[in-house]
Structure 1
Amino acid sequence: MGLLTAKVSRFPLARRFAVPRNKGSKAMDMKKLKTTKATALVAAGLIALTGCTSASEAGGTSQPSGAATFDPASVSKDDALAALVPDKIKSKGTLVVGSDTTYAPAEFLAASDGQTAVGYDIDIAKAIGATLGLKVEVQTSGFDGILPALGPKYDLGVSSFFITKERSKAANFVSYFQAGTQWATQKGNPKNVNLDDLCGKPVSVQTGTFQEDPDISGRSAKCVAAGKPPIEVVSLKNQTDVATRLVTGGVESMAAGSITTAYAIAQSDGKLQTLGDVYGASPVGIAVAKDDLPLADAVAQAMNKLIKDGSYKKILDAWGTGTGSIEKAEVNPQVNK
């Protein structure tokens, strides 16, 4: 089993790991070239290792052993709930979902074709769609581009959004999961990274996430206020790149949602370990346009039916993420942050 699932053609290794040419020394050029090739081979190997198979898909989606790809046909349409769907969506018959498919095991691209979105978030979205009598179309998007596109482009944003007061200004959220923040470092913590003193340390994190701001940005501000160097934040668009940067030694630690960090560690072939404890457990939500409360309400009621009939638990258990389950979905739940 490997660490990452990624579309190699979209994120070419040469661009990610290129080393500037030093014209002053041919010997140095060759040394750098060898280093660059070695680094690229490590990353390529990590990507290739994501082809491990599950019991349900010979192509391999990096699902836990025995996990079954969710079948929307197993969920029946609820006519009463389907009647709550706004006419503009009901008429097209499809829920268009925006998702950053680099965040395994919640949402990522199947290794079998590099195009099909899979993960527990994807299965939950499909189950909601089936309950409401709608097809679900998942479109890959950069994480920070999903919320601004709700309404005109996406009906829902299903991408492991921690619900925060700031995000709630931009969208409605339907809670469906809970998770905290978990840091990771290389196995054995060779750089002796201490979460209480990250000043001047290189840290990788996905752009636009709760971990980037306010968590790491707040830690960095405290460093500066104390007269210390700020945290060297390596903000990357894709969670796969965040983990790869740590494995290959480009940074000393990374921060992500607790489920995602645990999954990355489990898939790292012993290259990563946790750093500190999980903290800041918060609700995770499905995003809906701010001016579309009726759709948010329909999604919440569909979610609660899935919780009640056991479909929700089956999905999470299949992906090994049952510890993040909740008892009731709410529209715009109260949050502290």
Structure 2
Amino acid sequence: MLKSLNKPVAVAALAVVATVASAGDIPVTDAVKDSGKLAIANSLSYAPFEYTDENGKPAGVDIELATAAANLLGAELDIDVVPFASQIPGLAADRFQIAWSTFTVTAERLEQVDFVSFLQTGVVIVTTPDAAASFEGEHGACGRKIAVLTGSSGDFVADKLTEACEAAGKPAVEKQIYPEQKDAIQAIMAGRSEARLEDSTSAGYYQVTSEGAQVVVGDPMFPLPLGVAVRKGDTATAEMMQAVFNAMISDGSYERILSGYKLNASGLSESTVYTEASQLPN
């Protein structure tokens, strides 16, 4: 089932992408047991993780992983289409129990929600091939117009880059905030932005699919885990999702799904529940 905020829309069942396994060892929450559904909030607007394909159906690595998770739980996947920036507030308001997006786990976000990790990433600079050389070096982004997705890891990293620029006596990053990934991509192509800050996983995928129209500059910065978000203190849901991810890692379905998107380098050997900033790498 796919829902767009307040308007339910029925869709065909998503394809099974992993071997159905027993959920006997997974602590299934009462919400899943009672409803028979694994209900998640997702934006469907962040390729390759979540998007709508040419047939109008949900697609992407997050959707395939979520479908596999529902299979393990013996449940139906139910997607509530919610803008990325509204998902953490929605959890806090008790509108849903799981926000399944590629959230970078940050200290700021951990003040509001808990996370269950399923990937790891850093942030990279993405620009056009002709501008790539000008962004190389420690302070290549200083004084430049940089597009970011609101509330994303790139949004946070832009602030960190500004701190480094100003400490070196250089101009701050001119951060330009956009609501969705496609808007930031278009801003570069239209010349409104000089570059964008993006998760290394998504940026690498787009570099391939765009046939080099935008390229990655340098190595990933500030590597951190990626996770699904649950309400602060919702131990039952967090433990269920951790067990689901570890089951998929164990049975090989996790690796098969990541392989389809060339994301194996971002995979984990074990899922972790993050509840406080002290768990994050320094």
Query: What is the TM-score normalised by the length of structure 1?
Result: 0.72
Contact 2:17 2:257 in 1 (8 A): no
Aligned partner of 1:34 in structure 2 is none
After superposing the two structures, state which structure 1 stretch, 275-284 or 225-234, moved more: 225-234
2:134 & 2:60 partners in 1: Cα distance?
Answer: 34
Aligned partner of 1:101 in structure 2 is 44
List runs of 5+ in structure 1 lacking aligned partners: 1-68
Aligned partner of 1:157 in structure 2 is 99
Identity %: 27
Equivalent positions of 1:8-47 (< 5 A) are none
Supply the AA of the counterpart residue of 2:23.
Answer: D
2:171 & 2:122 partners in 1: Cα distance?
Answer: 27
Aligned partner of 1:137 in structure 2 is 78
Contact 2:139 2:165 in 1 (8 A): no
Deviations 1:171-223 (A, max 9, x none): 1211111111111111121782345143331111110012111x111222444
Supply the AA of the counterpart residue of 1:230.
Answer: A
Aligned partner of 1:128 in structure 2 is 69
1:204 & 1:304 partners in 2: Cα distance?
Answer: 35
Deviations 1:228-277 (A, max 9, x none): 54322111111111112112222111111001111121122332122122
Supply the AA of the counterpart residue of 1:207.
Answer: T
List runs of 5+ in structure 2 lacking aligned partners: 1-13
2:118 & 2:15 partners in 1: Cα distance?
Answer: 17
Residue in structure 2 matching 1:85, options 6, 23, 28: 28
Shift of 1:104: 0.9
Supply the AA of the counterpart residue of 2:95.
Answer: K
Larger Rg: 1
1:223 & 1:282 partners in 2: Cα distance?
Answer: 22
Structure number with greater CO (CA < 8 Å, separation at least 6) is: 2
Supply the AA of the counterpart residue of 2:187.
Answer: R
How many residue pairs get matched?
264
SS at match of 1:192: helix
Q: Residues 291 and 189 (structure 1 numbering): CA distance in 2 closer, same or farther, change over 3 Å?
A: same
Shift of 1:88: 3.1
Aligned partner of 1:335 in structure 2 is 280
SS at match of 1:150: helix
Residue 20 of structure 2 corresponds to residue 75 of structure 1: yes
1:239 & 1:190 partners in 2: Cα distance?
Answer: 20
Q: Residues 314 and 197 (structure 1 numbering): CA distance in 2 closer, same or farther, change over 3 Å?
A: closer
Residue 165 of structure 2 corresponds to residue 216 of structure 1: no
Q: Residues 222 and 73 (structure 1 numbering): CA distance in 2 closer, same or farther, change over 3 Å?
A: closer
